[in-house]
Amino acid sequence: MKAVLTKEVGGPETLVVEDVAEPTPGNGEVVVDVAACAINYPDTLMIRDLYQFKPERPYSPGGEFSGTISAIGEGVEGWQVGDRILASAGNGGLREKVAVAANRMFKVPEGIDLVQASALLMTYGTTIHGLKDRGDIKDGETVLILGAAGGVGLSCVELAKAYGARVVAAVSSEEKAQVARDAGADEVVIYPREDMDKAASKDLAQKFKDAVGPNGADIVYDIVGGQYSEPALRSIGWEGRFLVIGFPAGIPKMPLNLTLLKSCDIRGVFWGAFVAREPKRNADNIAELFDLWKAGKINPLISETYPIDRAHEAIAKLENREAVGKLVVTM
């Protein structure tokens, strides 16, 4: 069977596709015939050894995938050959068959497309935890989302709307602005891609303030970091919640006086650690996501699919800031 492998530290161009032996399930594991593996920003970091988890090489990247169970190991209960699943395993999804711990999987309900389901867990799982558990989102609040047309970003546009919020989407191009509007954003701010000086940063803060309105943003959902975080924090409202999700544009430093002036909170969101610490609450969140999906309130956008031989192109596209919604590799 075919597998994408990282054998050396480096970018997507260092990935190779090789024939490897088919896996057998270990204790507590099942083997899944992979239908689709969704690409996420952490995949770009892991292959460069820039992520908090550094698996031993060679391994297949690909943190989340969907498929059908084809073999069941010792000690696994509640699963059958033929069950349709999605899993979040950190890595290992970019191969035709993968052995995965049974406790990393969720059943895909009838009527939900298996390929589309591959794009649900990491983005929407992060955002439902971010908005509800960390952000205390309430009906009628205003949510400002940075990087709103990416994978996590679009999940936030849809979920914030599902929870009754007014959504201001911030993105770096008109094409991405249209994608955010199509997903339900009420207002869009386009920010520059090039480096901003002090005047440009002030100008962006004003644009955010105008878009969120006189009461400020109740929640800032910061997927991007870098030079965009401080202007966004300047547009937050009284007792607002600034949620820290990721740093594709770099790790920002924030002037703490702004938190005093707004009596606001800066709150970290670490979905992977939440899943490990509170699996039951995460499972409840995932069940809620499927309910929202069946009710038509969310609909994960896969903008492109790739065959396994071109998986490296999908990772490169994400890394180059060109991806919209999710890129998915189908087997």
Ligand X SMILES: NC(=O)c1ccc[n+]([C@@H]2O[C@H](COP(=O)([O-])OP(=O)(O)OC[C@H]3O[C@@H](n4cnc5c(N)ncnc54)[C@H](OP(=O)(O)O)[C@@H]3O)[C@@H](O)[C@H]2O)c1
Interface residues toward ligand X, by CB under 6 A: 40-42, 122-123, 126, 147, 149-153, 171-172, 176, 223-224, 245-249, 269-272, 318, 321, 323
Tell me the closest approach of the beta carbon of residue 269 to ligand X, in angstroms: 5
In Å, how far from its chain's centre is CA 66? Answer: 15
Tell me the closest approach of the beta carbon of residue 74 to ligand X, in angstroms: 32
Q: Which residue, 34 or 224, has its beta carbon nearer to ligand X?
A: 224
Tell me the closest approach of the beta carbon of residue 127 to ligand X, in angstroms: 9
How far, in Å, are 159, 240, 286, 331 from residue 183 at the CA level? 10, 24, 20, 28
Q: Which residue, 128 or 152, has its beta carbon nearer to ligand X?
A: 152
Residue 169 token pair: 């989407």
Tell me the closest approach of the beta carbon of residue 261 to ligand X, in angstroms: 26
Tell me the closest approach of the beta carbon of residue 232 to ligand X, in angstroms: 12
Q: Which residue, 212 or 223, has its beta carbon nearer to ligand X?
A: 223
Q: Which residue, 220 or 269, has its beta carbon nearer to ligand X?
A: 269
Tell me the closest approach of the beta carbon of residue 136 to ligand X, in angstroms: 17
Tell me the closest approach of the beta carbon of residue 277 to ligand X, in angstroms: 13
| Burial label, 321 (beta-carbon count in 10 A; 0-12, 13-18, 19+) | middle
Tell me the closest approach of the beta carbon of residue 97 to ligand X, in angstroms: 25
Q: Which residue, 25 or 127, has its beta carbon nearer to ligand X?
A: 127
Q: Which residue, 172 or 282, has its beta carbon nearer to ligand X?
A: 172
Tell me the closest approach of the beta carbon of residue 249 to ligand X, in angstroms: 4
Q: Which residue, 85 or 154, has its beta carbon nearer to ligand X?
A: 154
Q: Which residue, 25 or 63, has its beta carbon nearer to ligand X?
A: 63
3-state secondary structure string, the chain? Answer: CEEEEECCCCCHHHCEEEECCCCCCCCCEEEEEEEEEECCHHHHHHCCCCCCCCCCCCECCCCEEEEEEEEECCCCCCCCCCCEEEEECCCCCCECEEEEEHHHEEECCCCCCHHHHCCCHHHHHHHHHHHHHHCCCCCCCEEEEECCCCHHHHHHHHHHHHCCCEEEEEECCHHHHHHHHHCCCCEEEECCCCCCCHHHHHHHHHHHHHHHCCCCEEEEEECCCHHHHHHHHCCEEEEEEEEECCCCCCCCCCCCHHHHHHCCEEEECCHHHHHHHCHHHHHHHHHHHHHHHHCCCCCCCEEEEEEHHHHHHHHHHHHCCCCCCEEEEEC
Q: Which residue, 2 or 129, has its beta carbon nearer to ligand X?
A: 129
Residue 326 token pair: 């999710």
Query: Shortest CA distance to 163 belongs to which of 149, 144, 143, 181?
Result: 143
